[in-house]
Amino acid sequence: MINKILIANRGEIASRIIRTCKELGIGTVAIYSEADSESPFVSYADEAYLLGGSRVQESYLNVAKILDIAKEAKVDAIHPGYGFLSENADFAQSCEAAGLIFIGPKPDVIQQMGNKVEARKKMEEAGIPLVPGFSRPLTDSMEAAAVAEKIGYPIMLKASAGGGGIGMQAITNEEELSKAFEGNQKRAQLFFGNGDMFIEKLIEKPRHIEIQVLADKFGNAVYLWERECSIQRRHQKVVEEAPSSFLDEETRRKMGEAAIKAVQSIGYHNAGTLEFLVDVNKKFYFLEMNTRLQVEHPVTEEITGLDLVEQQIKIANGEKLSFTQENVKRQGHAIEVRIYAEDPKTFYPAPGKITGLSLPEGEGIRHELAVQATSVVSHFYDPMIAKLVVSGATREIAIDRLKEALENYKVEGIKTNLPLLKEIIEHEAYYQGDTTTDFINKYIKKIKV
């Protein structure tokens, strides 16, 4: 029985998890680094323990220290949030070995789906549509060139253990591939400890659409509709919305059913997300699976009325899903924008002290915050400081509310990406739903400071 949870994360997602735990009457334990000692999530939790230094290796990736604190605090479970250790199979295994409930899928499933080559194989076995590609690691640029010739350019070079766009590059010819292979391989080895690379056919002008799923330990699974996450910069999502303005009901249903088929084929339980590329003809292809809570999960909550963190905890606690697919209704439209501490001209992180923070209020506005008016944004971590989520009865209403909210969103003392977000949302192409993955490159001019 889960009565107390340690949140193995920081920032807005830690606060988000704590909020649901409080509503459920579950005790919370925060862990924090020296740089995060004054962060809001630390005081929001029932208890808080210092992990160590500001660097992630000294704190949020320090498995031994996290488990020591969990033992000292007498928690029943650990929620990993997203990022850091959330998709680390060894961490999940260590939690289980310590007698703790890991709020997520089983370690072997995390391992399988975290490796993109292995994930492709599993989905191929399950009959899920795949982007044409080569489903085993490539040894060198010569082998990569031979495979690319068979598939046909353009292709996408990817790191097998990658994420966040690291080790990923679009390639249009053999010369580009020869130059790119070794550099991306080294980058993947540095970031993920795994330099395996593979190749997929590049789907041109695609939509990036993902399906949120929940699956319990009794074989029950549901999909909670889709999120469109096509507006990206350097393969990082910037704007997410639900539902997609592009999909028709038949494609939406087929994608949902494919996602359920996929999770049941691998014995998955807890919350997860199947990511797909969708071409201009609405043909969809499996891209990857995220075996954790997504950054953009609030838009799904807004259109379904479900609390995904609550569902995660209940599933981890051994409870059956309390609803079936027929009960999962969607209502209205929701859009999320990620607010970063970054220079809007160079896009480089812009850490520093926030000297003023004024948030918009009104119907359909939701905030997920990592900071407060006096916070110091550290250079040690991801520069995302907040998420603004706006919902309405229709996409048009949600967009209008978001435009007004962005105009009234004020962060002083540091630079942010608010100018970029305003330009995206105010663009006619966005309003018309022309949101393919090349949106920013195609439509957005260089942002002025």
The confidence band for 191, taking pLDDT boundaries of 50, 70 and 90, is confident
Confidence band of 345 (pLDDT split at 50, 70, 90): confident
pLDDT beyond 80 at 109? yes
127, part of any domain: no
- Same structural domain for residues 74 and 160? no
Query: Which CATH number do you get for residue 189?
Result: 3.30.1490.20
Question: Is residue 433 domain-resident?
Answer: yes
pLDDT (average), residues 47-52: 98
Residues tagged active-site: 292
Count: domains in the chain: 3
pLDDT above 60 (res 329)? yes
Q: Please, what's the b/e burial string for 3-34 (b: 16 or more CB within 10 A of its CB; e: otherwise)?
A: ebbbbbbbbbbbbbbbbbbeeeebbbbbbbbe
Domain limits for position 80: 4-103
Closest CA to 440 of 264, 145, 236, 138: 236
Could you read off the pLDDT of 264-277 as tens digits, one per residue? Answer: 999 999 999 999 99
Q: Assess whether pLDDT exceeds 70 at residue 447.
A: no
Find the CATH number of the domain harbouring 362.
3.30.470.20
Given a contact cutoff of 8 angstroms between Cβ atoms, the answer to whether 416 and 350 are in contact is yes
**pLDDT digit string, tens, across residues 119-156:** 988 999 999 999 888 768 888 999 999 999 988 999 99
On whether both 336 and 389 belong to a single domain, the answer is yes
Helix (H) or strand (E) holding 333: strand 333-340
Q: What is the pTM of this model?
A: 0.90
One domain for residues 224 and 241: yes
Predicted pLDDT of residue 346: 85
Per-residue pLDDT, 446:
63
Domain boundary among 152, 171, 201: 201
Share of the chain above pLDDT 90, in %: 85
> Mapping DSSP to helix (H, G, I), strand (E, B) and coil, where does residue 314 land?
helix
Which segments within 202-303 are labelled E, that is strand? Answer: 207-215, 221-233, 236-242, 270-278, 284-290
Of 186, 201, 216, the one marking the end of a domain is 201
Note the pLDDT tens digit of each residue in 381-413: 999 999 999 999 999 999 999 999 999 999 999
Question: Are residues 213 and 181 located together in one domain of the fold?
Answer: no
Whether 191 and 338 map to the same domain: the answer is no
With cut-offs at 50, 70 and 90, classify the pLDDT of residue 192: confident
Picking from 103, 123, 149, the residue at the C-terminal end of a domain is 103
**pLDDT over threshold 90, residue 90:** yes
Mean pLDDT in residue range 280-287: 94
Averaged confidence pLDDT in the chain: 95
297 and 357 in a single domain? The answer is yes
Same domain as 219, residue 78: no
Q: What is the pLDDT of residue 185?
A: 92
pLDDT band at 449 (very low <50, low <70, confident <90, very high): very low
What would the pLDDT profile of 220-267 be if each residue is shown by its tens digit?
999 999 999 999 988 889 999 999 999 999 999 999 999 999 999 999
Residues 362 and 390 in one domain: yes
306 with 395, same domain: the answer is: yes
pLDDT at 193: 85
CATH number at residue 51: 3.40.50.20
Confirm whether 390 is domain-assigned.
Answer: yes
In a domain, residue 41? The reply is: yes
Maximal C-alpha separation, the chain: 59
At position 232, the amino acid (one-letter code) is Q
Same domain, 357 and 251: yes
Answer whether residue 121 is part of any domain.
no
* pLDDT tens for each residue of 199-225: 988 888 899 999 999 999 999 999 999
pLDDT band at residue 297 using 50, 70 and 90 as cut-offs: very high
Q: How many CA atoms lie within 13 A of 314 on its CB side?
A: 17
Alpha carbon distance 427, 448 (integer Å)? 16
Contact in structure between 103 and 270 (CB atoms under 8 Å): yes
Same domain, 175 and 230: no
122 inside domain: no
Inside any domain, residue 330: yes
- pLDDT at position 139 is 82
Per the omega criterion (within 30 degrees of 0), is the bond before 243 cis?
yes
Determine, yes or no, domain membership for 383. yes
Question: pLDDT-based confidence at 117, cuts 50/70/90?
Answer: confident
* Percent over 70 (pLDDT), the chain: 98
